[in-house]
Amino acid sequence: MPRGRLRVYLGAAPGVGKTYAMLAEGHRRASRGTDVVIAYVEDYGRPLTRRMAEGLATVPRRTVAYRSCTFTEMDLDAVLTRHPRVALVDELAHTNVPDCRNEKRWQDVEELLEAGIDVISTVNIQHLESLNDVVAQITGVRQHETVPDDVVRRADQIELVDMSAEALRRRMVHGNIYPSERIDTALANFFRAGNLTALREIALLWAADRVEEALLHYRHDHGIQQPWGTRERVLVALSGGPEGDTLIRRAKRTASRGAGGEFLAVHVAHDDGLAGASPQLLARQRTLVESLGGSWHAVTGDDPAQAVLAFARQVNATQIVIGATRRSRLKNLLGRGTGEAIIEGSGDDIDVYVVTHAEAAHGHLLHRRRSVSDED
């Protein structure tokens, strides 16, 4: 039996409309004749969400007793027995009552998928495990229910349910998220405009990274070599010379000009193991790259230009930043340098920027394509 497909609605905060969107998708599929059931939906008393759930088949919840209290959870065995084509399962990060078979709801979902049932689920960005500390720093609230990032990243579809901070706060004021007695406290704490703006930005960036990851897999699976410029990804090629600091800062400025841009640094070491650049200098430049939010990479190869170009295409770089040559006029006359080889080999899909610096030779550069000086 083929594995089921997982679709996740991702939001930045409670109230953006993830559950509503999930239910709307359920109605859309049911209208086409697909067997859809509500396996678990939490409406939190929101009238619009409750009305949207009407008309969809529902598998009754299971009542679980724990420490003299009763709780309701998704009845996993009943859903498996019913075996719908699509199950709607809210709150992917939810922790089940201890007496349940699985500790987490995402593990329940995994069983449904293994049984060949498609699942549509929801999660907020603050419940992703890797972002737990970041969200706690922003909001002052640590989320105790989390889901591993890989569980969500493996989803066949991820749809971001987006809403501006102002619109979400208006929705709160109108009583569409929490009951009236909780509104003022929520607006003054978790739902502050600054918190919501930061969480929204994190959600957008996380979703963009997931899209970029999917594109990389697609390019690999289909043998596509040329980069796809979905966003600016600037690669700075470092020889290990003293001009590296200048090139790193230029790459950072260039990447920062576009929304969601990022920069990477690569150093090519000789594959014969012979000593090259100063380890101390490279260590200092790596620290600078990482302090500016970039990522450091080291590759080996006997042809630095080809190694840089191969790495650039591997990471889907849209621009390469290199330093102006430090070669003497005589060496330039005898043959082309690494920089020129990178320019000539970049093709039409990667822009190459040649940055002048104090360490460059006094002679002029030979033919340069798509190059700039260090002056903005």
pLDDT of residue 336: 55
pLDDT of residue 207: 79
The pLDDT-based confidence of 365 (bands split at 50, 70, 90) is very low
For the chain, what is the HEC assignment?
CCCCCEEEEEECCCCCCHHHHHHHHHHHHHHCCCCEEEEECCCCCCHHHHHHHCCCEECCCEEEEECCEEEEECCHHHHHHHCCCEEEECCCCCECCCCCCCCEHHHHHHHHHHCCCEEEEEEEHHHEHHHHHHHHHHHCCCCCCCECHHHHHCCCEEEEECCCHHHHHHHHHCCCCCCHHHHHHHHHCCCCHHHHHHHHHHHHHHHHHHHHHHHHHHHHHCCCCCCCCCCCEEEEEECCCCCHHHHHHHHHHHHHCCCCCEEEEEEEECCCCCCCCCHHHHHHHHHHHHHCCCEEEEEECCCHHHHHHHHHHHCCCCEEEEECCCCCHHHHHHCCCHHHHHHHHCCCCCEEEEECCCCCCCCCCCCCCCCCCCCC
From CA 167, how far away is CA 16, in angstroms rounded?
9
pLDDT of residue 259: 54
Provide CATH 3.40.50.620 ranges for the chain.
233-355
pLDDT above 50 for 331 = no
Question: Which one of 3.40.50.970, 3.40.50.720, 3.30.70.260, 3.40.50.300 gives the CATH number of domain 6-221?
Answer: 3.40.50.300
Q: Look at 359 and 165; give whichever has higher pLDDT.
A: 165
Q: What value does the mean pLDDT take over residues 159-172? A: 93
Q: Please list, in sequence order, all residues whose beta carbon lies within 8 angstroms of the beta carbon of residue 37, skipping any fewer than 6 positions away.
A: 56, 57, 58, 59, 79, 82, 84, 86, 87, 88
pLDDT of residue 328: 46
* pLDDT > 90 in the chain, percent: 50
Provide CATH 3.40.50.300 ranges for the chain.
6-221
pLDDT of residue 222: 57
pLDDT of residue 148: 92
The pLDDT-based confidence of 277 (bands split at 50, 70, 90) is confident
For domain 233-355, give the fold: Rossmann fold (3.40.50)
The pLDDT-based confidence of 216 (bands split at 50, 70, 90) is low
For residue 309, the one-letter residue type is L
pLDDT above 90 for 133 = no
What's the whole-number average pLDDT of the chain? 84
The pLDDT-based confidence of 19 (bands split at 50, 70, 90) is very high
pLDDT above 70 for 189 = yes
The pLDDT-based confidence of 85 (bands split at 50, 70, 90) is very high
CA neighbor of 160 nearest in space, from 336, 345, 18, 306: 18
Q: What value does the mean pLDDT take over residues 2-10? A: 96
**pLDDT of 87-124, one tens digit each?**
999 999 999 999 899 999 999 999 999 999 999 999 99
Angle at 353 between CA 306 and CA 289, to 5 degrees: 80
* pLDDT > 70 in the chain, percent: 83
Least confident of 46-55, 129-138, 197-206, 207-216: 207-216
